[in-house]
Amino acid sequence: MAVRPIIRFPDPRLRQVAQPIGDVTDEIRTLARDLTETMHAAPGIGITAPHVGILQRLVIIQLETDLDPHIYIDPEIVWASPDTIRHVEGSVSMPGVTDELERPSRVRVRYRSLDGSMHEEEAEGLMAVCLQHEIDQLDGIFWIDRLSKLKRDRLIKRFEKLQRIAVR
């Protein structure tokens, strides 16, 4: 297992659509382990292959209450509730800044696991938010794209300032 370098905003790969994985190979299983280790080191509760510059549809999520990470291969949202939830979001590719977004409070996701079998699961609350956030990333939608232009511009300026301070 290895911690891989995380690409940073505004890297254009963060806005590219990830490709389906298809067959689950040993290479994909290794990538899943590396992503898990990279997510823990960041630290974060969710990460995708595009966060490390690999444009494939692989998501890892591990909430504080989870003993093991959830691994989603080629995930897709097949249903979203009409009721919504507001939650503060951020990204391992844009550390140090967060903002509140509104998303459906429940979702149903279809995906494959590391053994290649198909699954469907429903999630609510924080897990639903994380799934939507990470699947957006796979679809080339960086989380700040869901903010108003004013909020997005302010957040980008704040991030750029943090980056300048970090370089000193």
Within-domain flag for 27: yes
CB count within 10 Å of CB 52 equals 21
Tell me the pTM: 0.96
Q: What angle do CA 92, 93, 98 make, to 5 degrees?
A: 65
81 domain residue, yes or no: yes
> 3 lies in a domain?
no
Taking a C-beta distance cutoff of 8 angstroms, is the pair 140, 17 a contact? yes
Strand partners, 163: none
Report the CATH number at residue 104. 3.90.45.10
Tokens of 105: 């409070």
pLDDT in tens, 128-153: 999 999 999 999 999 999 999 999 99
Which residues form the catalytic set? Answer: 134
With respect to residue 25, please indicate whether it lies within any of the assigned structural domains. yes
| Domain-embedded: residue 6 | no
Euclidean distance between CA atoms 28 and 62, whole angstroms: 18
What was the pLDDT predicted at 167?
75
Average pLDDT, the chain: 97
pLDDT digits (tens, 9 = 90+) for 65-107: 999 999 999 999 999 999 999 999 999 999 999 999 999 999 9
